[in-house]
Structure 1
Amino acid sequence: MSATNERLTSEDRREQILAAASDVFGERGFAGGTTDAIAKVAGVSQAYVVRMFGSKQELFIAATERACERVIDTFRAAIAELDGEETVVERLAALGRSYVDLIADRGTLLTMMHAFTLGHDPRVGPLIRERYLDIYRFARDEAGLGPEVASHFLATGMLINTGMAMRLPDIADSDDDARELLGCLWGDSTDALVAMTTAAPILPEALRR
């Protein structure tokens, strides 16, 4: 463990590991991600990761909680900047703009995507269902979108997440249909977001084991 890591507080180290876990689980999922790979990305020992979280499942659950909290915190910050007189369309646009901050952190959204596929799991299933409904309730009530607009907003977000999981932006320059679909999602921001998501690193093979 480096001298820099030794100066970090326990909470800082926890966040460092959870950020690394988001990167690894986001790309590899729960089954493919390992505590060893997460430790290497975080720059700590595997023993330290296990000591802090207890097991890979508990680490995945913590990473999922962190991802869901980050989504709501990002949306809440966007709404807090408004004066309360905006129309539903203007509030929806503010939330859409804030989504760029989430897209920049692929691990956050993709960890949630992997959690969605574990709805059958007795621990992960109840957690992700409740947290996803928390996001829906926020959009519907705190953001004031109402049920129909809130559900459309979440549906668009899921389409964005699915495209990211497939790395659809990687073929945007060579496939007109991919470019068209991304353009429908991102509008004038398409070029910038394609560049940002295409540049997102893929874990080296050595960190996949």
Structure 2
Amino acid sequence: MTTTAPDTGTRMRSEDRRVLVLEAATRVFGERGYHGATTDAVAKAAGVSQPYVVRMFGSKEAMFLAVLERAVSRMMASFRAALEESTAESETPDAETLHRCIAHNYVELLSDRGLLLSLMQAFMLGADPVIGPEARACMRRVYEFLRDDAGMSPAEAHGFLSTGMMLNTLVGLRMADDYEKEPAVRELLDEVFPTKLPFLLSLRDRQS
């Protein structure tokens, strides 16, 4: 059986091919979960052969760990950008301004389909001997950034993380699908996404 790479008309660099497959894997893991995803499904989403994916990562577990690292790295980059934005507004931004900038950038990550949901999948695998420690390290990195770099108190970091988990839960449930049909859902989403609801609904419409 031969192993094929994407046919783009020109030879892609190996790192570009890896990014292509990781983006597809992020979508598949986000939609199907860790146990429901397969290397074959990732290969089809990326437009490559299944042996090519296996050769690149070795196993589904290793591929998921790469997806997890990509997700948390993108999230941390987004948070650091938000910290710079809030500092540009004021040399010593208050907690509300900082929280708003970080939350805004966090929601923007939803445009990378499956990224935040892949993180949620990792957080549900705490008992896994390989994935569990990596998932805990990711959560620890986020908390330490909020505490040490963003200067949040433990209580403020708790509030931010709680809101983030609520956002992820609503996205994972596809609550936006019922926004026009269920008054209670409309009320909840209006409260949780006061400024980003049009963005969330546009993503829903693009993915339906």
Q: Could you tell me the TM-score, scaled by structure 2's length?
A: 0.91
- 1:139 partnered with 2:143: no
Q: How many residues align?
A: 201
- Which residue of the partner structure matches residue 32 of structure 2? 28
Cα distance in 2 between the residues matched to 1:88 and 1:173: 34
Compute the displacement of 1:41 (Å): 0.8
Q: Could you tell me the TM-score, scaled by structure 1's length?
A: 0.91
Aligned mate of 2:123, from 99, 110, 116: 116
- 1:153 partnered with 2:166: no
Deviations 1:135-183 (A, max 9, x none): 1111122112221111101100100100111100110111111111111
- Which residue of the partner structure matches residue 92 of structure 2? 85
- Which residue of the partner structure matches residue 12 of structure 1? 16
Deviations 1:79-109 (A, max 9, x none): 1232332111111111011122212223100
Cα distance in 2 between the residues matched to 1:2 and 1:175: 43
Q: State the identity as a percent.
A: 44
Cα distance in 1 between the residues matched to 2:127 and 2:6: 40
1:135–1:36: structure 2 CA closer, same or farther, 3 Å change rule?
A: same
Residues 98 and 150, structure 2, Cα contact 8 Å, conserved in 1: yes
1:191–1:57: structure 2 CA closer, same or farther, 3 Å change rule?
A: same
Cα distance in 2 between the residues matched to 1:44 and 1:106: 19
Aligned mate of 2:56, from 41, 47, 52: 52
Residues 20 and 38, structure 1, Cα contact 8 Å, conserved in 2: yes
Unaligned runs of 5+ in 1: 202-209
Amino acid at match of 2:132: G
* Bigger relative contact order (CA 8 A; separation at least 6): 1
Unaligned runs of 5+ in 2: none
Alpha-carbon RMSD across the aligned residues, in angstroms, is: 1.5
Cα distance in 2 between the residues matched to 1:65 and 1:106: 16
